[in-house]
Structure 1
Amino acid sequence: MRRFGNALAAFSTRWIPDAFVFAVGLSVLVYLLALGLTDHGPVQLVGDWYAGFWGLLEFAMQMALVLVTGYALASSPPAERAIARIAALPKSAPAACALTAVGATLLGMVHWGLGLIAGAMLAVRVARSCRERGVKVHFPLLAAAGYTGLMVWHSGLSGSSPLLVNTEGHFLQDAIGIIPLSETVFQPFNLVFLAAMLIGAPLLLMSMHPAREDAEEIGAEDDGEAPAGTALTKAARRALSPAQRLMHSRVPVLVVLVAGLVHIVPAIIENGLVGLDLNLLNFVFLIAGLGLHGTLAGYAAAAAEGAKSAASVIVQFPFYAGIMGIMEHSGLLGIVADWFVSFSTPATYPFWALISACLVNLAVPSGGGQWAVQGPIVVDATASLGLDPGVGVMAVAMGDQLSNGIQPFWALPLLALTRLPAGKVLGYSAVVMVYGIAVASLCISFLS
């Protein structure tokens, strides 16, 4: 496994381009496929591309805020101390990979945003701690371990399609009604899959760690330290004007903290973690970060540092939205999905639906967005084949999450925080993806 992992990582480092190049290249590929397989002409397809180009603006802003608020929260002094204690636990490089993978996977099961940001943060902090303690750990492999949460999230409590079909008034209610989580996320085949990922993915990553002499440690420039110096001495505080003192006072933070808790506590009590959508997650990160930093000045400095990592999200998300526009408006997505249905049987359809979702996710890398355009096709197929619609929902969910292992769209925040090129990470995560697809295929084929 070590030789295989090293070979795949070397291949991906050499041949997988920067995430921005990948986004543009995928745009061209989808355009050419639509040109050859649909009745939309060249100019019309450009119109389809532009029609979708700005469709992820709200989501891009949410993701940028996940990066900024998550970074600011994790870089607060109390959070830094807590993470430092956890990061100091592993005594060897394989143990560091296992700890990071288990943490990211568990967090991803709870909420995809937590798994994405906290997993990346944990990878950086563990790498830094290992370097300081003389434990030579391969940082690209550790970053891949921090990415495992994005390969289980749709099977967890924040899975968008399982939650959507469990919501009154969802767009497919007339066809399938309300499907409770007991028939999707809490089905035995999904729980077995999650257990296999929680145990198998860390072991797989541990087995791929290169020899000590070949390990690439985190560099000092990759630490991502928040700027220090926000705490002022008494003399410096006295030299500030009254207006400037407000930035270093705890009073404004306390006002925002009280107001935030008034909304957050009832919302979580009423809906639990299942109701933790992206907006509420960002709000929790914001309020918690302000409270832990204690002053607006401290939080602003940390947020400014975190904002440096958001550029790739802001620039690249419109290109993926454009790809989604081509897939949806040209009818290419329906052609791909119908092709898989054409040779499926009741016994094989869950597997082929999973594989088709893996492929579609490369061009439509949004759980909710993918279900919106692929869901009606899957629901019709399950009805015609006499299958439980909940199985179809989870087939799409599983396929959607697993091909994240080679999809730079979701890796962008992790790549920004670790400051690694996509090729160095995706070679290792691809191995975990193949393992996950094998496990998910067996589970949904024989346990559903």
Structure 2
Amino acid sequence: MSPLARLGLHARRGFGRLTPEPFTISVFLTALVLVVAVAFGERPAGAPLWHALASWHASAGLWRLLAFAMQASLMLVLGAALASAPPVRRAILSLTRLARTSRQLTLLTALVSITLAILNWSLGLVGGALFARAAGASAKARGLRLHYPLLCAAGYSGLMVWHGGLSGSAPLKATTTRDMVEVLGPELAARVGTIPLDESLLGALNLTVTGGLLVLGPLLFWALTPRDGEDPEARPIADALADEVGREAPVEAPPADAIERLERSPVVTWLLALPLAAALALYVHERGLARIDLDTVNLTLWLAALLLHGRPHRFLAACEEGVRGCAGILLLFPLYAGVLGLLEGSGLSTRLAAAFADASSGLFTTLAFLSAGLLNLFVPSGGGQWAIQGPILLEAGLSRGIAPADAMMAMAYGDQWTNMLQPFWAAPLLAVTRVRARDIVGYCVLWMAVGGAWMIGCLLLLT
């Protein structure tokens, strides 16, 4: 067994024993931030000690991400429905067969996840999870001794690359004056101006960082995979899940009456598919592919799943299967929204970001990266983090002669970096693949270490 594969085995064992489930982590994180906010946070004069509770349970706290939770739940359900459509299932399984060995299969899974995440973060998350599940079933069918959680970690790897991709929240919001004024305020926005994509996503810094991660990620997961038969603790995908991936649709009994014939009629499918397709075409025509958002991704998934299942009752049955995995999203999103409300309402988020802004020019972008990584553990939202850190970092960067695009991208890289430790974003993948957080976190930490070193090196040399 190679040294890196042995390191992966030790990381798997160590972190597997020490990592609780995401819900437990989120509860302890909520308690910690609540205590700190009460003890050290800002509150209006004369306000009671428990004023922080108002920030936690108010509409800007626990309930602020309800729309986002619905978007994420739909993304999971519709993505699972799409993957279960017979043409897609056959295509994914055929793609997994391009890899002949365990190491090639892990490399291919990471490559798919990272490539999709560069195109759109939600495609990377759901697509990576679905491909990892199919790869696990393919490995089992071919008798490859491959640790299934390693495939799942590879399927999650794209979430450490997404903010430098085409759906990056901060770069996209920095392209218009209106969005810059909304985040920075009119005075600072006038000094900074807009940041065009050819300076951010298409700039030399980001092309180097993101291109390097696209190469490093698959190679790392290839190296972490023991050769066939070398892993003494290889755990394949569960039989039930493998059967679910490869199962063909059962033969249906003929409809019993006119209502059942209607419910199975493709006419119902087309009555919804046509307006969905028209809405999608109109959106792309008006805004272009570069401004695709989560609603557009969900609309695309809905349209594709509906058409590929063909019949409405088959589509509904596939969605019902996907709904089972939504519990983690529905419970975790409000808790993290409450943490965000506590941090903002108590002023702790601003103080945390400002603490890293007082740095020399040579280390400014590196410390911006590290502060963003730390803040992401508490505020797992690229857009939310840009709103909190953007004004502070750009103001401090201007005074040190740092290009606004460099300061912004340093924050974006830090935001994506600690996604490998953030159970908030892992919830959809865990639901699709049916593994536990403790099963994948060891591999994610190794990817985080390698990717973090690459990003810091690029920031030191290129900014």
Q: Normalising TM by the smaller chain, what interval?
A: over 0.9
Could you tell me how far 1:168 is from its partner in structure 2?
Answer: 3.8
Q: Which position in structure 2 is the counterpart of 1:320?
A: 336
Alignment equivalent of 1:372, drawn from 387, 391, 411? 387
Alignment equivalent of 1:363, drawn from 365, 370, 378? 378
Aligned-partner Cα distance in 2 for 1:224–1:373 = 46
Q: Which position in structure 2 is the counterpart of 1:407?
A: 422
Contact 1:230–1:301 under 8 Å retained in 2 = no
- Which 10-residue stretch deviates more, 45-54 or 76-85? 45-54
Q: Which position in structure 1 is the counterpart of 2:282?
A: 266
Is 1:148 the counterpart of 2:157? The answer is yes
Could you tell me how far 1:42 is from its partner in structure 2?
Answer: 4.6
Could you tell me how far 1:421 is from its partner in structure 2?
Answer: 0.9
Say if 1:66 and 1:175 are closer, same or farther in 2 by CA, change over 3 A: farther
Q: Give CA-to-partner distance per residue, 1:352-406, whole Å, 9 cap, x none.
A: 0000000000000011111111211112111222211111111111100110011
Identical pairs, percent: 38
Aligned-partner Cα distance in 2 for 1:135–1:223 = 14
Contact 2:172–2:291 under 8 Å retained in 1 = no
Alignment equivalent of 1:219, drawn from 218, 238, 256? 238
Q: Give CA-to-partner distance per residue, 1:309-339, whole Å, 9 cap, x none.
A: 1111011110000000111110111111111
TM-score normalised by length of structure 1: 0.95
TM-score normalised by length of structure 2: 0.92
Q: Which position in structure 1 is the counterpart of 2:347?
A: 331
Instruction: Write out aligned runs for 1:277-288 (5 A).
Output: 277-288=293-304
- RMSD across aligned positions (CA): 1.6
Q: Which position in structure 1 is the counterpart of 2:55?
A: 48
Secondary structure of residue in 1 paired with 2:331: helix
Aligned-partner Cα distance in 2 for 1:167–1:421 = 41
Aligned-partner Cα distance in 2 for 1:100–1:93 = 11
Could you tell me how far 1:213 is from its partner in structure 2?
Answer: 2.7
Aligned-partner Cα distance in 2 for 1:332–1:46 = 14
Could you tell me how far 1:36 is from its partner in structure 2?
Answer: 4.0
Contact 2:38–2:51 under 8 Å retained in 1 = no
Alignment equivalent of 2:361, drawn from 322, 328, 346? 346
- Which runs of no fewer than 5 residues in structure 2 stay unpaired? none
Contact 1:136–1:215 under 8 Å retained in 2 = yes
Secondary structure of residue in 2 paired with 1:363: coil
- Which 10-residue stretch deviates more, 312-321 or 185-194? 185-194
Aligned-partner Cα distance in 2 for 1:333–1:150 = 23
Could you tell me how far 1:7 is from its partner in structure 2?
Answer: 1.6
Say if 1:203 and 1:330 are closer, same or farther in 2 by CA, change over 3 A: same
- Which runs of no fewer than 5 residues in structure 1 stay unpaired? none
Could you tell me how far 1:163 is from its partner in structure 2?
Answer: 0.2
Contact 2:113–2:156 under 8 Å retained in 1 = yes
Q: Which position in structure 2 is the counterpart of 1:119?
A: 128
Aligned-partner Cα distance in 2 for 1:230–1:241 = 20
Q: Give CA-to-partner distance per residue, 1:139-174, whole Å, 9 cap, x none.
A: 111100000111111000000110001134111333
- Which 10-residue stretch deviates more, 127-136 or 222-231? 222-231
Q: Which position in structure 2 is the counterpart of 1:416?
A: 431
Aligned-partner Cα distance in 2 for 1:444–1:20 = 34
Aligned-partner Cα distance in 1 for 2:133–2:208 = 30
Secondary structure of residue in 2 paired with 1:214: coil
Contact 1:320–1:363 under 8 Å retained in 2 = yes
Q: Which position in structure 2 is the counterpart of 1:65?
A: 74
Q: Which position in structure 1 is the counterpart of 2:400?
A: 385
Q: Which position in structure 2 is the counterpart of 1:4?
A: 7
> Which ranges of 4 or more aligned residues in structure 1 deviate by more than 6 Å?
none
Counterpart amino acid of residue 392 in structure 1? A
- Which 10-residue stretch deviates more, 298-307 or 272-281? 272-281
Counterpart amino acid of residue 7 in structure 2? F
Aligned-partner Cα distance in 2 for 1:32–1:356 = 21
Corresponding pairs, count: 443
Aligned-partner Cα distance in 2 for 1:311–1:325 = 22
Aligned-partner Cα distance in 2 for 1:133–1:73 = 24
Could you tell me how far 1:224 is from its partner in structure 2?
Answer: 7.8
Aligned-partner Cα distance in 1 for 2:282–2:312 = 25
Aligned-partner Cα distance in 2 for 1:191–1:114 = 20
Is 1:101 the counterpart of 2:110? The answer is yes
Aligned-partner Cα distance in 2 for 1:39–1:272 = 43
Could you tell me how far 1:305 is from its partner in structure 2?
Answer: 0.2
Aligned-partner Cα distance in 1 for 2:248–2:90 = 15
Aligned-partner Cα distance in 1 for 2:32–2:49 = 13
Counterpart amino acid of residue 12 in structure 1? F
- Which 10-residue stretch deviates more, 174-183 or 285-294? 174-183
Q: Which position in structure 1 is the counterpart of 2:35?
A: 32
Aligned-partner Cα distance in 1 for 2:192–2:198 = 15
Alignment equivalent of 1:435, drawn from 445, 450, 454? 450
Say if 1:368 and 1:224 are closer, same or farther in 2 by CA, change over 3 A: farther
Aligned-partner Cα distance in 2 for 1:157–1:442 = 23
Is 1:19 the counterpart of 2:22? The answer is yes
Could you tell me how far 1:182 is from its partner in structure 2?
Answer: 1.0
Say if 1:8 and 1:212 are closer, same or farther in 2 by CA, change over 3 A: closer
Q: Which position in structure 2 is the counterpart of 1:248?
A: 264
Alignment equivalent of 1:183, drawn from 199, 220, 223? 199
- Which 10-residue stretch deviates more, 164-173 or 410-419? 164-173
Aligned-partner Cα distance in 2 for 1:328–1:392 = 22
- Which 10-residue stretch deviates more, 266-275 or 438-447? 266-275
Aligned-partner Cα distance in 2 for 1:46–1:268 = 42
Could you tell me how far 1:228 is from its partner in structure 2?
Answer: 6.4
